[in-house]
Amino acid sequence: MSVQQITVQDAFELLKQDQNSALVDVRTFEEFNFVGFVNPSEFTNRLVLLPWQLYPEMQENPEFANNLESSLKEIFGNVDKETKLLFMCRTGGRSNEAANFASNCGYKNCYNIISGFEGSLNNHGQRGKIDGWKACGLPWRQK
């Protein structure tokens, strides 16, 4: 299975329109807490916050597959390998790895959100200004 690449705008529209879809944010818990995260209220809270790598060593999360399955069961009541899973990280790198991993675990509709939550650096070394979920004005919040 190959992972499909998708923009943040197209991802948001897909999540709003397709009830058999979920957003899987694979950033660290530290990123969720300090940078913010997607507000999923416009797509009936189908959001999974599940780190692909664990801070501070940034090693792969050994429980990723099990936690993904249990999170999907919690959202949908079961695990359907046809569910559209849209993976997001800061800029699209880790989420692409996680999407490929999920695809190799048998999930058939995996997407990587190419510019992620914060997007590319601008000329001043700042993220969240050029592209990404935040820069596009899509719903997000902080704790």
Tell me the residue range of the domain where 75 lies.
4-141
Instruction: Please give the full DSSP string across 6-66, using - where no structure is assigned.
Output: E-HHHHHHHHHH-TTEEEEE-S-HHHHHHH-EE-GGGGTT-EEE--SEETTTTEE-TTHHH
The pTM assigned to this predicted structure is: 0.97
What's 21's domain CATH number? 3.40.250.10
When divided into structural domains, the chain yields a total of: 1
Residue 29 has pLDDT above 80, yes or no: yes
pLDDT band of residue 1 (cuts 50, 70, 90) is low
Q: What is the pLDDT of residue 143?
A: 84
